[in-house]
Amino acid sequence: MVTYKEVVEAVVELFRKAETELPEDVVEALRNAYEREDNEVARSILKAIIQNIDTARKLKVPMCQDTGIPIIFAEVGRELCLDFNLRDAIVEGVWRATKEVPLRPNAVHPLTRENPGTNVGMHIPHITFDIVDGDGLKLTVLPKGAGSENVSDLKMLLPSQVNQIERFVLEVVKNAGGKPCPPIVVGVGIGSTFDGAAKLAKKALLRNMTEMSEFELSLLEKINSLGIGPGGLGGKATALAVLVEMGHCHTASLPVAVNIQCWANRRASLFLR
Ligand code: SF4
């Protein structure tokens, strides 16, 4: 049995963790990038990022002033019985996290730019619900900064343009340059629908970065050969990882989405039962 209070508190704690402690696979990738780098400027930027991460964890403060837009994935066990509205509990958790962590109030009305100050508004927090086997509830938070989200892109390729996927991914990274605070993580969604490809690209960012396929590693190598480097000031580490998720698509389409994430690849999960 999962209670409303447990969900609210879990969401607050997940945001606290995601904002103050970068997952171990991300920290390891940053340390490896530092070891491999021989460009002095790039090394000093990576060193500053690693020190910043350590300080945020020790002092329990957010690692970046942009605490992101709240994105949540809820995997709901089909045998789980809830006597409350799960969305309401998650929304209250975000509202409380904004006050208690605290999170910067980033969510504004798209046209008036009016800010409710709570990170709660129309369709925000952005929540994806999935029904899965079991009797538990897995919650994952992915606070997403604007610097990287703003340079993400999507293209509806034709099925005959399958050999242009790689070129499009490289083009997006090249156009982004130093804006998304590299070294970046590149989430790629191939297939599905217009919106489905974007969702796949975002979901890809939740994966462990140390487990990349040959296709992903070869894309990573090509991205790093662009030489954008940490902070956009040149160097070997433009990206830390490329993570690709695929979905079947219409025979007449080939959607490709590229969701760029900054070095602050913040994510945290927990399981309630
Ligand atoms: S892109 Fe990432 S690291 Fe850069 S300011 Fe935004 S959240 Fe912070």
Q: What amino acid occupies position 226?
A: L
CA-to-CA distance for 117 and 121, rounded, in angstroms? 10
pLDDT tens-digit profile of 15-72?
999 999 999 999 999 999 999 999 999 999 999 999 999 999 999 999 999 999 999 9
- What are the Cα distances from residue 232, in Å, to 67, 128, 173, 237, 255? 21, 33, 11, 10, 28
> 189 CB less than 6 Å from ligand 1?
no
- Ligand 1 site, residue 26, Cβ cutoff 6 A: no
CA distance 264 to 56: 12
Ligand 1 atom showing the smallest separation from residue 66 Cα: 7
Using a 6 Å cutoff on CB, does residue 145 contact ligand 1? yes
- The answer, yes or no, to whether residue 86 has pLDDT greater than 90, is yes
Whether 148 is in the pocket of ligand 1, judged by its Cβ within 6 Å, is yes
216-226 mean pLDDT = 98
Give the per-residue pLDDT at 1: 86
CA distance 177 to 197: 23
Cα(259) to centroid(ligand 1), Å: 14
